[in-house]
Structure 1
Amino acid sequence: MSEMKLTTLEFIRLLPQFMREDGAVKGLAAAMDEIVPDLAQSAATLSTWDHIDELTEAELDALAWELNILWYDTGASLDTKRALVKDSDLVYKRLGTKWAVENVINSYFGDGYVEEWFEYEGQPGHFRVYSTNPSLNNERLTEFLNLLNKVKRASAKLDGIFITLTGQMPLYAGIAFRETSKEQYSIGAKL
């Protein structure tokens, strides 16, 4: 018996002998022989998702193009590209939401979050972006705003971008207290 693969399937051979002579069954088997190899080939490409961490930069760029990831930047780092491809379907599902904006901010610029208008008593439909990345300065601001416009709700208005920096610094405090008083005694004899 020869080896059977999904790409060279002969479905009729998988059926019991008594079914092989029925005309309708023969037709269905022939149709399966046409359909299954294409499905098997499509299923083989699904393994790409299992190996995103092993794809080259060119393969990631091609995959991002195929997936039409609007916020994908070919100039980004390899780790950023991988994160964007991995999360692309989730971002597309939630495009225009706070979560989508935060996800893209975190992929490109590290830690960051969005504060919506009702969280800081702003105007309805407005929001603020907070990031801990000091490189989000004038040079990267245009890039950031372009990315933001691709994932935020079109009617949402950005009120500001705030860079928050944290660090440790030794702080010393001290106090000195000195009490002084003046006392006067006179010693004299009584006569």
Structure 2
Amino acid sequence: MDKLLLPPPLASDERFSILANIAAERFAQIDLTVLLVYLVDLVDASALPSLASQFHIQGLEGWLFAESEQERRDLIKQAIELHKYKGTPWAVRRVLEILSLPGNISEWFEYGGKAYFFKVEIKLINQGMNEDLFYSLVDLIHEYKNVRSKLEALIVWIISQSAIPIIGCALYGGEITTILPFQITEIQQIKPIYFGTGQWSLEITSIYPEQIWLMNSIPS
């Protein structure tokens, strides 16, 4: 053992020296790394949700989109910087990068749009997209953009990298018509609408045994 730092009156007493050595050996066996919760790369995974709550990155601020443990750790490590620059294009772009959703932001003056509008393009590589995820991404962008700017469009590129790429999608839509006292005399459709239909039919033919009726002949 290393030299024990005991006061002179205790150091000269062999009993206290033995007791101090026993205590030092016991204390040396205690794992103190569990107390180092802010070493995000080393902390146990069970502590990550509590850290996410402390650093205010739960739900739509990023935690909902973190699919892997490493993404959760990276999000926690970048939480302070994300909040520091919240309301800037950098914050929107950075949070998408952390969550493996690389995106590109185009501001209104770059594409000749309306003032203070912007567009976001996101690439999904070997990932799917549904309606809930799409609108959740919109909410994520709203969390990190500034209040003045308006999201004009969210463009999602679905990329399949495989020997035999397979991409499938489904589209459904509807139309609501409200008839008021004012009658519209003419309606113009300026955008094509594509409809798809399918038909499935089944015919069942049943053959029963032939029925023979027996008639008794009554002599006259």
Structure 1 length normalisation: TM-score? Answer: 0.57
Q: Distance in 2 between matches of 1:159 and 1:45?
A: 46
The yes-or-no answer on 1:64 pairing with 2:65 is: no
**Structure 1 residues 1-191: aligned runs within 5 Å:** 3=5, 47-49=36-38, 51-69=39-57, 71-73=61-63, 76-77=66-67, 78-133=69-124, 135-164=128-157
Q: Cα distance, 1:157 vs. partner?
A: 0.6
RMSD of aligned Cα (Å): 2.9
Q: Distance in 1 between matches of 2:65 and 2:85?
A: 24
| % identical equivalent positions | 25
- When the two structures are aligned, how many residues end up with a matched partner? 128
Relative to structure 1, the CA distance from residue 120 to residue 66 in structure 2 (aligned partners, 3 Å threshold; closer, same or farther) is same
Q: Distance in 2 between matches of 1:130 and 1:122?
A: 16
Q: Cα distance, 1:45 vs. partner?
A: 9.6
The AA in structure 1 aligned to 2:50 is A
Would you say the 8 A contact 1:131–1:162 is kept in 2? yes
SS in 1 for 2:87: coil
Would you say the 8 A contact 1:126–1:158 is kept in 2? yes
Deviations 1:36-71 (A, max 9, x none): xxxxxxxx999544x322333331110111122251
Relative to structure 1, the CA distance from residue 74 to residue 141 in structure 2 (aligned partners, 3 Å threshold; closer, same or farther) is closer
Deviations 1:107-130 (A, max 9, x none): 234211211111111112111011
Q: Cα distance, 1:106 vs. partner?
A: 1.9
Q: Distance in 2 between matches of 1:148 and 1:97?
A: 11
Q: Distance in 1 between matches of 2:49 and 2:64?
A: 6
Deviations 1:146-171 (A, max 9, x none): 21221111221111111235689xxx
Unaligned runs of 5+ in 1: 5-43, 169-191
Q: Cα distance, 1:141 vs. partner?
A: 1.2
Would you say the 8 A contact 1:100–1:151 is kept in 2? yes
Deviations 1:92-111 (A, max 9, x none): 11100000001112223421
Unaligned runs of 5+ in 2: 7-32, 162-220
Relative to structure 1, the CA distance from residue 89 to residue 46 in structure 2 (aligned partners, 3 Å threshold; closer, same or farther) is farther
Would you say the 8 A contact 1:105–1:113 is kept in 2? no
Would you say the 8 A contact 1:64–1:72 is kept in 2? no
